[in-house]
Structure 1
Amino acid sequence: MIIQIAAISENNVLGKDGDLIWHIPEDLKRFKKITLGNPMIMGRKTFESFPSPLPGRLHIVLSSQNQRNTENVIWVQNLEEALEIAKSKNKDIFIIGGGKVFEQTLSITDRLEITRVHETFEGDAFFPEIKEKDWELIDSKAGSDKKYKITYNTYLNKQNSKS
């Protein structure tokens, strides 16, 4: 299963200047729990936003720049190669950003795990629009944060649904 996981604002902002705008500890714990042990596909800027590779996960990084692979980090130049590597692991595949990677993979994604931050922000990275005709909301739970009102939403792709 291909799953996109992201925290987005009411106006679909993902981040600004290569980083998240908010810091929500509960959401970070949820991200870790959901992605642990699975391959993650991301763009270079998303990877570079981490202080170091996240433990317990394979990072497959899309970049036009040649980089040296290291433990748990594989650099690829196209999405097809990234998906081939991820599928070889026989686990769920997580798409974790950024905006261009989310947009490129939306049509092949089976499930969305979206943390909705109920505010609007200025940003330069955006999540694609979640269209009701394409996505079915199957679960929605209020989250807890001191600063922001958040909701955890799970969507299934109506076209790719295997039910």
Structure 2
Amino acid sequence: MQIEMIVAVAENGVIGHGGKMPWRLSTDLKRFKKITMGLPIIMGRHTWESLPGVLPGRLNIIITRSKLDLPEGALVVNSPEAALEASKETGSKRVMIIGGGEIYKAFEAQADILHLTKVHAAPEGDTYFRLSNPDAWHEASREDVQAGENDTADVSFVTLRRT
């Protein structure tokens, strides 16, 4: 199974603040939906709690030891290994890791592709993303995008592949 991560990260490494994203990026949300649609998505409890509900068209797999009352389309597991097993049961050959910080760390060594949105801003935050071994990745593609009407910053969409 191909493991892919998708993350929006500011120039200072921030990916979250107070359980939310510290920016408004409609352009990035559209890209996120396009990339993740139809795939199982794996996230931690804090990421799950930041969402408005189940992301439709995707099996939402939440890694947590907490008991959660979940709607149809969401599943709780207690480990990264169990999350991958649940993903395989969907028949998908790809799985998408969508956060947060600890979940990215748990899967980084196994990931094949990183869909990175570089947010050209340096907001205040309390959750960070940094690759533990940046030399293990090479840039496969890049698209620089100016902030649209519903965006608070310019971004670069970068696809990294494991070398």
The alpha carbon displacement at 1:67 in A equals 2.4
Structure 1 residue 119: Cα displacement: 1.6
TM value normalised by structure 2: 0.92
Partner of 1:102: 104
Q: Which moved more, 1:106-115 or 1:123-132?
A: 123-132
Paired with 2:122 and 2:68, the residues of 1 have a C-alpha distance of 36
Q: Which runs of 5+ in 2 are unaligned?
A: none
Alignment of 1:29-108 (within 5 A): 29-91=30-92, 92-108=94-110
1:152 has 2:157 as partner: yes
User: Following superposition, which runs of at least 4 residues in structure 1 exceed 6 angstroms of deviation?
Assistant: none
Q: Work out the CA distance in 2 between the residues paired with 1:67 and 1:25.
A: 29
Aligned-residue CA RMSD (Å): 1.3
Count of matched residue pairs: 158
Higher RCO, 1 vs 2 (CA within 8 Å, ≥6 residues apart):
2
Q: Which runs of 5+ in 1 are unaligned?
A: 159-163
Partner Cα distance (1:59, 1:153) in 2:
24
In 2 relative to 1, CA 130–9 (structure 1 residues): closer, same or farther, beyond 3 Å?
farther
- Out of 118, 130, 143, the residue aligned to residue 145 of structure 2 is 143
- State TM-score, norm by structure 1: 0.92
